[in-house]
A and B are shown apart, each in its own frame.
Chain A
């Protein structure tokens, strides 16, 4: 049962006030389902002229361009740009590895998803927020309109992690369920043993406008461990004996930097907007600064 306090914890009133003035930006033009505020590939009845075509019997005579007929003595029909709604998908990594950090990466990711979803809702976009990397009993509903905010928050609060599945499997299932193209924001730590490359290909091939936000805990960037320890992976319970020393910490940081650099290069080549954030970065700063800078919101 979602309470007001829980919801408030995901989105503070100050943040909601900040989000009111924002909208999601898509670098691509997609077909919507209903009329909305975004340009669509369809030709429709907006005020913006898109093209002309020959008149054929049965066309609505209201759209005949009488000026052209007067000059050319031929009938042309005016086609106008259609404005439809936008499909906005937010995929939140719900694997056990997201349960680390202070606050946890999972909480931070849901906060971010709620914020982006709220922006979509107030702009009448079709918002769908789904957990990934876990078995889900039923697909998340598509929400639309400001009034769906409480449903959105309730949905985020009510997620119960099921059995873990790989990122690749999870995204494959997602694209098979969701054929409508739109903006996809993937919020994950990308710490999948099988790698994220093969998983992201599913999104790329479906021509989504993809944003990848990697969330890491501070402890992952600057590990606070030392001595002879046994590392236990929380996802597969695999162990690893290490003797942590300053030298090894340096090596770890080098590996992390290499990992982030590779992700940046990989996503950049595929026109995927990628950036990394840590859980100690304020959400207001992230959305108002970084996401606006990267073009996800404006």
Chain B
């Protein structure tokens, strides 16, 4: 207990006056009714013990006096600002950033790191002063404002308790952006923007990061007036974890080659661990390894040939890999891989001179990934074309020196022609057309060797907003790709060959004779694979959206069953695809079509950062290291509000006693 501030003699004397005045007035106000008695002899003897100190005798049993003195004493005490040692959060606006990523499910601290973070958050809320406000943000690789700024402690604690564990990766960046955006109000979120409209005064705020610190990337956020306070969760002395950090099938079943399962294990425990690995295919145990010894921070890879165990005629097959014994983090002790037939890219080439294209698009490499049809330009007017385009049977259509009346609902490639849209245009053929620029970043042309490629003539291509120039000549873009809703149009401003006046074909460029030409078309197909609907069996990380296509033209929605059995139906767009985003759970997701449940994709944690549950001592934010601390700073905690409250209660009792005396 301490007192603030220390008083001088004058102040002490001034404080002594009120109680003395009360005593004085108390005795002045007493009117004693005279009572005639036979003799005061016995009364005198009764109180003669107190005659030596008659003042004290008068003090006895004066309840009102005591209550009044007590009230004044309490007020004096309150004026002295008594306090006791306590903890202070430092500030009056707080942001509770609670990590609910996969690693927070670790049970090295009981019941779990997330529960411990919630307890710490509730303790912080309890330590808030009455007018302090706080907000709650839960974060993994995404951040959610669970509760905006409020001083309602019960509400804050209720929200904190309701935060659920997720299986996603951990990334503080989004949460910090949210926190800084809400604390540094009036600033634009774009750091590069010169426009900064000040709409309100920024206020200081303290953000408590309740996390184990295992972030996938270092946050680089301008904190402004936001002060970070890192509260590390976890016990650095007892944690144990061995995780599956990679699980993948490495080949396509159509090749009838080896089906290799690649599993990578890593030991994050501070001691050597011996683990057992088991592999199941469609629920049947097919292989196991016992006693795989892993030293601390050591990893090992396991490669299994699953071809003997998988009948490629009965695909799909679900491969489940699990390790034992149990450790502090269970979600990385299991991983899945999916082996399913992959849909090929459906490509149509509409060309009057298909000789060169047919050669390059009928190679074995191309046919592994695509089915290619060739048609004359007159086919564009046929009913078949219209019906098949309407039925979304093509992924990409290549128009060589021709163009459709309307753009189809798929990706397109135009050779020496432009899409029938106002925002695309092409100039006349210009000569010469040397290559002066080639994009190093776009996957279509990034790895092409074009040094020995010559173009006699080419057109300058201009496209809609968002069009990217892939190859440029002195006059402008020769090859450009532009967006069209959910599709892309690739426009190439030169013909591969053209008809001469005598009816023969003549080459305009030597590109078809160079190695970069088939590479360009292979890139074209793989680009379709990667950017089209899901055609790969590769596992995806939790939370990552995935594009899914339906084979049913008539279906209006696609139903996906999640690993926990819940189903999500999503309307299918014009493209026949959906973008599925509810991939929070780890495991196998299935397409549901009536009674048929077909595995669609798998979600694995497979993250070295999440499996590494070693609690971090500090976190790096914007290149600053913020050390973790477990306790709040000691402060003087004021007690005067309680004393004033007590004074009011005492005065209430005094009034009650007084009323009772009057009535008596």
Contact = CB atoms under 8 A, between A and B. Distances in A.
Tell me the dominant secondary structure on chain B's binding face: mixed
Interface string A3-33: 0000000000000000000000000000000
Given A243-B60, A243-B61, A232 B38 contact: no
Interface in A189-231: 189, 191-193, 217, 220, 225, 228-231
A239 interface: yes
A55 B270 CA distance: 142
Interface in A227-285: 228-235, 238-243, 245, 247-248, 251-252, 254-256, 258-259
Contact of A229 (B34, B42, B47): B34
Contact residues on B (Cβ < 8 Å of other chain), bracket: 20 to 34
B41 A231 contact: no
Interface residues of A, number: 37
A247 B61 CA distance: 9
Given A243-B60, A243-B61, A248-B47, A259 B42 contact: yes
B34 A232 contact: yes
B47 A189 contact: no
A240 B38 contact: no
A241 B39 CA distance: 14
B199 interface: no
Contacts of A99: 38
Given A248-B46, A252-B42, A230 B61 contact: no
Interface in B35-65: 35-47, 58, 60-62
A97 interface: yes
Nearest to A225: B35
B288 to A, nearest CB: 88
B33 A230 contact: yes
Contact of A231 (B30, B40, B45): B40
Contacts of B32: 228-230, 241
A217 B46 CA distance: 18
B26 to A, nearest CB: 11
Given A229-B32, A229-B34, A235 B39 contact: yes
Given A229-B32, A243-B60, A247-B61, A189 B38 contact: yes
From A225, A247, A248, A259, residue with most partner B Cβ within 10 Å: A248
A232 B44 contact: no
A240 B36 contact: no
Nearest to A251: B46
Interface string A105-134: 100000000000000000000000000000
Contact of B61 (A229, A234, A245, A252): A245
A252 B39 contact: no
A233 B41 CA distance: 9
Nearest to B39: A191
Interface string A155-187: 000000000000000000000000000000000
A259 B46 CA distance: 11
A262 to B, nearest CB: 11
A100 interface: yes
B658 to A, nearest CB: 13
Contacts of A248: 46-47, 61
Given A229-B33, A234-B37, A240 B61 contact: no
A245 B63 CA distance: 11
Contacts of A228: 30, 32
Given A243-B61, A245-B61, A259 B45 contact: yes
A232 B37 contact: yes
B31 to A, nearest CB: 8
Interface in B156-210: none
Given A232-B35, A247-B61, A238 B40 contact: yes
B46 A100 contact: no
A220 B45 CA distance: 14
From A98, A231, A251, residue with most partner B Cβ within 10 Å: A231
B62 A256 contact: no
Contact of A230 (B34, B38, B47, B62): B34
B504 to A, nearest CB: 134
Contacts of B33: 229-230
A84 B62 CA distance: 66
A220 B46 contact: no
A233 B46 contact: no
A231 B61 contact: no
Given A230-B32, A230-B33, A241-B32, A255 B46 contact: yes
B47 A242 contact: yes
A225 to B, nearest CB: 6
Contacts of B47: 242, 248, 251
A232 B47 CA distance: 15
Nearest to B37: A231
From A192, A233, A234, A259, residue with most partner B Cβ within 10 Å: A233
B40 A233 contact: yes
Contacts of B34: 229-232, 239
Contacts of A256: 42
Contacts of B30: 228
Contacts of B58: 241, 243
Contacts of A230: 32-35
Interface string A79-115: 0000000000000000011111000010000000000
A181 B532 CA distance: 144
From A96, A99, A243, residue with most partner B Cβ within 10 Å: A243
From B36, B42, B45, B46, residue with most partner A Cβ within 10 Å: B46
Contacts of A220: 38, 42
A229 B30 CA distance: 9
Contact of B36 (A193, A234, A259): A234
A32 B36 CA distance: 45
A259 B30 CA distance: 31
A251 B50 CA distance: 12
Contacts of B61: 243, 245, 247-248
Interface in B1-50: 30, 32-47
A254 B32 CA distance: 25
Contacts of B38: 96-100, 105, 189, 191, 217, 220, 234-235
A278 to B, nearest CB: 13
Nearest to B41: A191
A247 B63 CA distance: 13
Nearest to B31: A228
Contacts of A243: 58, 60-62
B359 to A, nearest CB: 121
B37 A255 contact: no
Contacts of A235: 38-39
A238 B33 CA distance: 15
Contacts of A192: 41
A257 to B, nearest CB: 10
A239 B37 CA distance: 10
A193 B39 CA distance: 9
A245 B39 CA distance: 19
Contacts of B41: 191-193
Nearest to A97: B38
Nearest to A240: B40
A263 to B, nearest CB: 12
A95 B195 CA distance: 109
A224 B62 CA distance: 19
Nearest to A99: B38
Contact of B43 (A97, A231, A234, A245): A231
Nearest to A216: B38
B634 to A, nearest CB: 48
A217 B39 CA distance: 12
19 contacts: A96-B38, A105-B38, A193-B41, A220-B38, A230-B35, A231-B34, A231-B35, A232-B35, A232-B36, A234-B36, A234-B38, A238-B40, A240-B43, A240-B44, A242-B43, A242-B47, A248-B47, A252-B42, A252-B43
Given A230-B35, A255-B42, 7 more contacts: A97-B38, A192-B41, A193-B39, A230-B33, A231-B34, A234-B37, A245-B60
Q: Which 7 A-B pairs have the closest CB atoms?
A: A191-B39, A97-B38, A230-B32, A100-B38, A245-B61, A233-B40, A255-B46
